[in-house]
Every structure is written in C-alpha cells, then in structure tokens.
C-alpha cells in the first residue's frame, strides 16, 4: 500500500493560463499505482477570459494552484450542454505538490 499525502483539492486553479474559479482535483491509488484527475464546470455567462474549447489538444497543459503547487495534465474532454462548459483533466505526472 502506498503512503504519503494524497491530493484532494477544491478551489481556484490556473489551467493553461486560464483562471478557473472552481476546480476539483483528486489523487487516487490502485495498489501501488497513483494518478490524479480533475474537473471544472463553468457557466457560459462566466466563461473566463482566454478560455478556448480546444484546450483538449494532445499536449499536456500546466495546472497551477494559488499556493504555487503545479502539475501537468491532459484535457481529456471538453463538453458544452448549452449553458455550462465542463472540462475533464487527467494528470500526466506527479500530482501538484
């Protein structure tokens, strides 16, 4: 079983240079394998400056928390339901530490 701190964060975060006010990040473990993922949802009316739906490219994007913790993630899905954008992230290395 793995030991140490696991990321469980809810709050603002900068994703690829765009400031999102409410992001949920969590680290999970499956035996000895650890990974992390996250989601954020924003209303169309509150879309942050600089947001582009094509964040879902093939390259990892930087994720930075207000306290300076950083990580890299792939934006695995961007969807729009007519009133809200939802982004799903999958960490590509260590969780923001």
Rounded CA separation 93/56 (Å): 17
What pLDDT score was predicted for residue 85? 94
What pLDDT score was predicted for residue 30? 77
What pLDDT score was predicted for residue 1? 37
What pLDDT score was predicted for residue 4? 53
What pLDDT score was predicted for residue 31? 74
What pLDDT score was predicted for residue 97? 81
- DSSP conformation class of 48: P
Residues with pLDDT less than 70, the chain:
1-5, 56-57
What pLDDT score was predicted for residue 3? 46
- Output Rg (C-alpha) for the chain, integer angstroms: 13
- What secondary structure does DSSP assign to 16-64, as a single string? TTEEEEEEEEEEEEETTEEEEEEEEEEEGGGPPTT--GGG-SSS-EEEE
**Lookup: tokens for 18:** 């765009």
pTM of the model: 0.85
Count of other CB atoms within 10 angstroms of residue 77: 12
What pLDDT score was predicted for residue 69? 95
What pLDDT score was predicted for residue 80? 94
- Residue pointed to by tokens 């975060």: 13
């Amino acid at each position: 079983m793995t030991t140490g701190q696991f990321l469980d964060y809810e709050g603002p975060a900068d994703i690829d240079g765009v400031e999102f006010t409410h992001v949920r990040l969590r680290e999970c473990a499956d035996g000895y394998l650890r990974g992390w993922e996250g989601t954020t949802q924003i209303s169309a009316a509150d879309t942050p400056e600089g947001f582009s739906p094509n964040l879902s490219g093939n390259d990892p994007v930087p994720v930075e928390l207000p306290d300076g913790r950083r990580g890299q993630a792939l934006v695995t899905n961007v969807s729009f339901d007519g009133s809200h954008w939802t982004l799903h992230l999958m960490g590509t290395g260590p969780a923001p530490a």
